[in-house]
Structure 1
């Protein structure tokens, strides 16, 4: 069974349904510009297992947005690096699924696509910036880190 995303309306949606909702949101104001953003955050549990929350955000630039999120619990992660790399891999997997669905549709507007990584110049994750940014760029995605990575550090973080 695929992991389903939660909507703000309490619905559980597959990736295809999330993309349909994104398209409806864009079609409401097709002349505006949009960003479609994927970000993942995680939290280590006492058991050393980790909860991962991935958010799909559609941002109508200058005029709000919508988001969808899913939580999955994975096995033990003994280092912060392993957990951050898993966050990035989950974001990349979702990004590829979303783009595959988007390519099947004709979207009437200009939109950009980004992956937001929950790392930054301050704190423990600063040593991972080069590696994480390289992974994301190698997959041909635009990347944002803290403080600009709000899909991971704010949206996904709300549900972790």
Structure 2
């Protein structure tokens, strides 16, 4: 946090990315840091609504005031051009000023599919990786593995 680094949790659905980001967010809150947890789609929606109602500077200011911004589910929805530009603004404002945690199921090479423009994706990635750490959460879907439904299916196969 003091070094304003970025963490990117990368892995398949159910591999623990969100759980890890929430745990770190709670720890940061307990240490007195200002933290916000938001999904990428919620962030885009909030920024678009703020722009449409003339409150974009206030919304951006609210994000600037944070010590840690956690953006979850980076890769589960596509953003239009305006949303992409607004999300880029949040990332650019955060660069060297606060810590970020992002969770994603996509490698950086596929982030152009999320944002409307390959150059914008490259600019976002550039700011994230400069002081960033990539943590691969693996290829095990823990929700599926620990699901009672999964155990029921295994028991039926045995019988």
More strand by share: 1
Provide TM-score, normalisation by structure 1: 0.30
Larger radius of gyration: 2
Higher relative contact order (CA 8 A, sep 6+): 2
Provide TM-score, normalisation by structure 2: 0.31
More helix by share: 2
